[in-house]
Structure formats: C-alpha cells, structure tokens
Chain A
Amino acid sequence: MEPIVEMIGIRKEFPGIVANDDVNLQLLKGEIHAVLGENGAGKSTLMSILFGLYQPEAGRILVRGREVRIQNPNVANDLKIGMVHQHFKLVHNFTVTENIILGLEPMVGLGALDTKKAAARIREMSTRYGLNVDPDARIEEITVGMQQRVEILKMLYRNAEILIFDEPTSVLTPQEIHELMGILKGLVREGRSILLITHKLKEIKEVADRCTVLRRGRVVGTVTVADTTEARMAEMMVGRKVSFAVDKAPAKPGAVTLEIRNLSVMGNRKVLGLRDFSLEVRKGEIVGVAGVDGNGQAELVEALTGMRRAESGQVLLNGTDITADSVRQRIRKGIAHIPEDRHKHGLVLDYSLEDNMILELYDQPPFARRGLLDREAIRPYAEKILSDFDVRSGKGVDSNARDLSGGNQQKAIVGREIELDPEVLIAVQPTRGLDVGAIEYIHRRLVEQRDGGKAVLLVSLELDEIQNLSDRIAVLFRGERMGLLEASATDENEIGLLMAGVQGKGGAA
C-alpha cells in the first residue's frame, strides 16, 4: 500500500507551549490509523494542521505523493480531506440537509430545488452507509450520535477520501460506538483512509491497523496494532505502566447523605423523563447510575442540582428537604456537580482558567471580601487545582479555558468540583475525553472522596466505569429504576438486561 498522506517534521507552537514538535506521520491508503496520546499531547492540533485550520511553523505535507500547502479547509476539501471535530460544528436551527450543503455552490441561486436534490442524495448515501439519518430533521432535535453521523455524511457528500475523526466516540453511547466501528470498517473497505483519534485502546484494537503515539508534542513511535497490546500502547503514551483496574477497599458506608424519594421530573418533550425514582446514597459509598443515554439521567441530575424543577417527590440532603432550594443554596449545602457538557455548563470558555476555578466560590471568602474579588487568594487556589490535576496549558492559570485541549478542560472541571470537597459529588461522565493516565488518576480521586466519608453519585454511560467504581448500581430505563444491584454481586449481563428494560431478579440491595 502506498502512503496517501505524509506529514514530515511538523512543528506548531502556541504561546507558551510547543504543541507539535518534529512530528512525522504516514497514513497508508485504505488503512485506519489511530493517533494516541495524553491530553494535550497535540493530537487535535496535528489533525487541524492537516485540515488547514492551523499553519505549521515548520514541516512538509505530502498528499498522494505531491507536496501541498493546506492554507484552509477549502484546500483540504479540494484534496478530499474531511474532518469530524472533537466538538461538532453544526448550525443548530438548520436541517440536516442545510448543514451538509452549507458552503457548497448549489446553495447559490436556485436554492429550493437544489435542496431537494441534495436531500435525495443524502437519503441515498445514508442508506448506503447505514447511517440512518433523516435529511429533514433539525440538528437541535436529533441525538448527539446522529449529529455525528451528519458530520460523517458531510464529509462523504464532499467525496472525501481521507477522513479525520477527532475523538468521535467520547460523546457516543456504547451501542453507537459499536455502530460507528462498523461504519469505519465499511468506509476503508471502499478504499477510503481514516485517521482516528481516540483514548480508548479497546477501539484501537478493534479497528485500527496502525497506531502513532504522541507524547508532549513528539512522536514516541508508530506500531502495528495487531502486534502489540493495550498495555504496551498505554505505556508508550504515558511513559509508565498504567493500571486499568481501580484499586479500592470495600466500602464502609455510613449514614444516608442523599435521599431521593419518589422523584418525578419533566423531560424536554413535556412528558415525565424521570418517574417515581427513589435512591439513597450513603456516606462513604459510590452509587453508580447505569443506563442507555436518554433514559432519565439528565432529568435526575438536573433535579438533584436544582437546574430543573421536580414535579413531585423529594430530595433530602443529610435529612433536610432541599427540593425547593436554588442551585446556589444546594452548592452551599454541599452538592457539587461535574456536568455532562463541559462547554455548555462546565466552563466559561472566555474566562481565564483562574476565573473558571472559582465559578461557584467567587463571592465567598477568602476569594471575595465585601463584594471585591481578592486575586491574591484566587490565584494560588487555581494554581493548586491545576497542578494537582495535571491540567496543562500554555499560560498556566492565565490561559483562556477555550485554548485548552478537550481533555485538559475536563480535568480542570473535575478538579474544581473535587476541590470543593462536597457532601455529595454528582459526577456525570467524569472521565469523558480523558487519557488512560488521567482516568486512572480521576478514578483514584473519586475513591478517595468516598474513603473520606463523602457520598458520590456516578452517572456514566460506560459500563466499565460504573462497574469499576461503584459500590451499588442503580439501573435506569425509560425514566424508571429498573433495579438496584450490589456491584460485587452482579455482572455485565445482568446490568445489560436491566438497561434494556428486561426485569431481572435485581430488587432492592
């Protein structure tokens, strides 16, 4: 097989940091090539260079053997390079079709007619690749998984042959991930070539032919996936051995901290998204909430944090009813929340990291006195979180949150919330987008939180994470609690069945 893309000696600097340093990468025609590396290693940057979003300071790029200068995404487009970004770039109140043909010539002039033609072609392509996308649906109405398939269609519609996927699976449910892997295999069978960024070694093992590992901007090596192990790849990337199993002693649960009584919450579609849900979380235990995405997790979390009103039922914290409390009151009483969507809720992207680290504490002493911010107190506090959680950025606490790599943004949020040392920590997908080393660390911190006698409610779509961390597991299905299981006495099968709505033996545990 001949190389279709060669990146040679690529260097890219940002203020205070070298994101890519003498990087060489070769993509063969018809292969799936994984790019692996710690958070902030420079993966997204490298891919953005290939897609024309950044210009490298040094280095050459050859596409199909010819040296090219990719000044912007349109040039990439002409070279038949397409990219699905880590954070999607779709216009929310446009339809699928409008989003796909946005920026292409047929929009000019006879708009209406061409849209119809385009929609037909999209429908045809969607069936051919098994993407199951409705061309007339509006982006805001469809799931994240389908939005991603729209991004894929967008590339295919432009006849892209070199496809870049930047962490496509971090926002998907396990089922959707499985489908995506099938789609990727189908695309290379057609002769397309794929660059795949992912932190999940299992996925690399499943679909990739080769894997290039980056560490702190430099290439550690390129390996043939079939000849190597997950552990070996993890070690290459972090530079030390990584343990995948979470090391924890049995829980010593104490008194009930968080009590949820018959909680019902309205969903976005004006029907109950959570129905008559009850659960107790005790001091010193981690309770996992498992379920397929969209089965009431969001409603549960928002009702617990005060961002959404409960229709009926109660939430009690250490015995006092907080059902009517505001978000702020709950935070003050000791509820912390790692949100699912880091860009929407987790960060003020245009604030510095320093300001983001006091998002819930900005008006509390010692950070504020008589309505005035005290920078001398804020700065060391922020610096401590960033160093404890190994948040890497070009300008330290002065970096804008926007300029951090996705994983480093996540680490900053998790650090901020754990640093609050809350009575109850509600962690929703806490390790989304993190590298294996960071996952290991965050998992350890969550267990420490538990061992310090605090309660943790873990909401995750990843069964592995739920099983590894939880002491007890509640399973949600269509807004109802299907079962409550003792983690040590259950297995994937039982949880899986409950998640699918099959009533098992799992009663109260």
Chain B
Amino acid sequence: MKKPLIRIRDGRSVRLSLFAILLGLLAGAVLILTIGGNPFVSYWHMFRGGLMDLSRIGTALASATNLVLTGLSVAFAFRTGLFNIGAAGQMLAGAMTVTAIGLSIPVGALPRPFVLLLMVLAAGLAGALWGVVPGLLKAKFNVHEVVTCIMMNWIAYNLVSWLIPAYFASNLPSETPLIPKEHLLRTGWMASIFGDNEYINYGFFISLLMMVVVGFILNRTTLGYELKAVGFNRHAAEYAGIRVNRSMVLSMAVSGLLAGLAGATYYAGYANKLVVGTLPAQGFDGIAISLIGANTPTGVFLTALFFGILHTGKGFMNAMTDTPPEIADTIIATIVYFAATSILIERYGKVAAKWWKDRKGRKTPAGTAKGGAD
C-alpha cells in the first residue's frame, strides 16, 4: 500500500483549524459591533472584495502565493523541530537578489525565460543562505535558532537600507526604480484570464509546485523520514545514527529556500520594487499559516488562500462600510491568536478540559477538601 502523496489532515486537526478561524471571525464581529458596524454586512463585503470577480480572485491568489511559500517555509522547519521565525529576513534576501538581477541585466540582453529562471533560483539560494546560518549556529554552537533568525532578519533589513541608497536608488533614495516588466514574473496571459489583474504571476505555479515538492519530501523520501525523526525525538534519531546536526542545517536551508522564493514572487511579481524600512509581514504570517495548516502542505495551501482572500477583501470592506481595514488586520491577528491557542489546547487539551470540568464539578459533589495546605 502506498501512502498518498499529499495527505489530507486527519479530521481532528481540520476541525481544530476551522474552529480557530470561526472564533477569529466571531471575535472580529464583536469588534465591528463595538465600533457600531454590522458584522454581517462587513464580512459580506470583505469576502465579496476577495472573490467578487476574476480580477479580485486574481489578487487573492497572488497574495496567497507569497503566503503559501512562507507558510511552507515555517512548516518545513517545524517538522524538524525548528522554529523558523526568520522567513521575513530570508524573503528580503531573496528580494535583494531578484531586485539586483532584475535591474542590472539590460532588458533584451538575455532571453526572458532565462532571466526569470535565474532570478527565481538565485532568490531561493539567497534565502537558503539566510536560513543556513541559524541552522549552522544551532548545530555547531547550540545557539537557539529563534535568536539567530531574528538577528538575521535585522541584518537583511539593514542590508537593504544600505544597498538601496548606495547602489539601486531611484529618484527617491528610499526605494529602487521599478523592475522592468520583462523581468517580472507577471505575464500577460495570466493577467488576461483574471480580468487584467496586475498582481497575478508565475509565482502561483511556483507555490503549487513547492506544495507538492514539500509533501513529497516529507512523506516519501528518506530525507523527510530523517528530518521528521529529528523533529519528533532527536535522541532517538541520534541513537539510530541519523546525523542530527546535518538534518537541522539541511532543514533550515530548505526552509530558507522556500522563504527566498517568496521574496522572488513578492518583490518581482506581486510588487515591482524594493523599499527600505520594512520587514515583510508575510514572513510572520507564515508562522500563523503553518500553525493553522497543521504544518502540512495542503493545510498551509488552503490557509494561505483564506488569508489571501482576507487581505484582498479588506480594502473593499472599508470602501463599502465604515469598518476600517485595520479591522481586517485585527481579525487576522485574532485568528492567529485563536489558532495558536487551539494548537496549545490540542496539545494540552486533556489537561485543560479536565481542569474545566473539575471547576464545574467541584461545586456540586460533597468532595472532601484537598489536603494541600496545612
């Protein structure tokens, strides 16, 4: 019997994720109510804003593209027991690479497919490099990857702040000129399918491909077996002769590569220039998406689609109602919050449920007082 290539998550975690999303929407509704809005109307417009016509669907897909990749990045590391909080920095590493290549090569000097391929591969490599550093430091010196990932985020951030004014400034010192459209992942035929949408790009196929590749690595390959074994129980992995340190470095490299690709799809697809002074939010959204998606490729993909719709629809909601777009951000944050909590509940669920039952139970029966205090 073969294991399916991509496993749909078991019923339990699907319910858990849906529950988290529902709670998030509910909490958002309460927020909308408190500022005097009508949650039904607001949500109606928000989802319409993300799905109303082909063009908006295109934008939602384009926005989801980046999130799929950062979500996969975080999820991949999680499966090896590592917390990659550095997807934002890895994205920026990819962003610097695509921007440099896209602006430096004169349009028409090289065939377009070649340039695009080069950009994507280079961005992936740059992201991998950014991911490998925390992996190596963890393997060699046991420095916690969260600390180094955050440091790598700021290194990327500051590198951008220095590189752009120094080498790639436009009229504005704080941003690059626009990458010529020949060197963007955008393409006419996709745009025309989605009602002249300007965001949708080849990146969507990259994200689909990566979803399949990550699922394949995790479920079918010996590499995936090793990485997951390390993630579940590194002592047992060591006992079995699995090179734990090598696994951690490798896992961070793949994880960084995925985030680096997100840098390409975002900065040379969804957007077309690099601006100083931001760490891309997608890097952090990836954490939430990975959590809600239960660290599985399909889960991540579906969750990212949902987030893409929310991000796309919030502007429309704002235009049609008095609900400010920040509410959408708050809702997303709330969903993240509830998702994280429900993951904790899943893990410590029995304890929590018992505690809750016990609190209720304690009042009724003539239970003897506990002998704790004397």
A313 to chain B, nearest CB (A): 22
Q: Is B238 an interface residue (CB 8 A)?
A: yes
Q: Is A26 an interface residue (CB 8 A)?
A: no
A362 close to B225 (CB less than 8 A): yes
B281 to chain A, nearest CB (A): 32
Q: Is A307 an interface residue (CB 8 A)?
A: yes
Q: Is B235 an interface residue (CB 8 A)?
A: yes
Q: Is B223 an interface residue (CB 8 A)?
A: yes
Q: Which of A293-350 contact B (CB under 8 A)?
A: 305-307, 326-331, 337, 339, 344-350
A106 close to B372 (CB less than 8 A): yes
* B239 CB contact (under 8 Å) in A71, A345, A363, A379: A345
A345 close to B357 (CB less than 8 A): no
Considering the complex, give the chain A residue whose CB is closest to the CB of B229.
A348
Which residues of the partner chain A approach B226 to less than 8 Å between Cβ atoms? 362-363
A375 close to B3 (CB less than 8 A): yes
Given contacts A351-B229, A373-B222, contact A327 B367 (CB under 8 A): no
Contact mask for chain B residues 94-105; partner A; CB cutoff 8 A; 1 contact, 0 none: 000000000000
A74 close to B221 (CB less than 8 A): no
Which residues of the partner chain A approach B239 to less than 8 Å between Cβ atoms? 305, 307, 327, 337, 339, 345-346, 359
Q: Is B112 an interface residue (CB 8 A)?
A: no
A91 to chain B, nearest CB (A): 13
Considering the complex, give the chain A residue whose CB is closest to the CB of B3.
A375
Q: Is B138 an interface residue (CB 8 A)?
A: no
Q: Which of A179-227 contact B (CB under 8 A)?
A: none
Q: Is A272 an interface residue (CB 8 A)?
A: no
B139 to chain A, nearest CB (A): 15
Given contacts A74-B354, A351-B229, contact A360 B240 (CB under 8 A): yes
Which residues of the partner chain B approach A326 to less than 8 Å between Cβ atoms? 241, 243
* B220 CB contact (under 8 Å) in A101, A344, A372: A372
Task: Flag the segment in A11-19, A29-37, A75-83 that touches B.
Answer: A75-83
Instruction: Give the size category of B's interface with A.
Output: 35 or more
Which residues of the partner chain A approach B225 to less than 8 Å between Cβ atoms? 355, 362-363, 373
Which residues of the partner chain B approach A345 to less than 8 Å between Cβ atoms? 235-236, 238-239
B361 close to A75 (CB less than 8 A): yes
A106 close to B241 (CB less than 8 A): no
A15 to chain B, nearest CB (A): 12
Given contacts A74-B354, A348-B236, A350-B232, contact A371 B370 (CB under 8 A): no
Q: Is B341 an interface residue (CB 8 A)?
A: no
B354 close to A348 (CB less than 8 A): no
Instruction: List 27 interface pairs A-B (beta carbons < 8 Å), by A numbering.
Output: A52-B354, A71-B358, A72-B355, A74-B361, A75-B358, A79-B367, A80-B368, A104-B370, A104-B372, A104-B373, A158-B372, A327-B241, A330-B241, A331-B241, A344-B233, A345-B235, A348-B236, A349-B233, A355-B225, A359-B240, A363-B226, A368-B222, A371-B223, A372-B220, A372-B222, A373-B220, A373-B221
Beyond A71-B354, A345-B239, A372-B221, list 19 extra A-B contacts (CB 8 Å): A71-B358, A74-B361, A78-B368, A78-B370, A104-B372, A117-B374, A305-B239, A326-B241, A330-B241, A344-B236, A346-B239, A347-B233, A349-B232, A359-B240, A362-B226, A363-B222, A372-B220, A373-B220, A375-B1
What residues of chain B have their CB less than 8 Å away from a CB belonging to chain A? 1-3, 220-223, 225-226, 228-229, 232-233, 235-243, 354-355, 357-358, 361-362, 367-368, 370-374
Identify the 7 closest CB pairs spanning chains A and B, nearest first: A328-B241, A72-B354, A159-B371, A104-B372, A345-B239, A327-B241, A78-B367
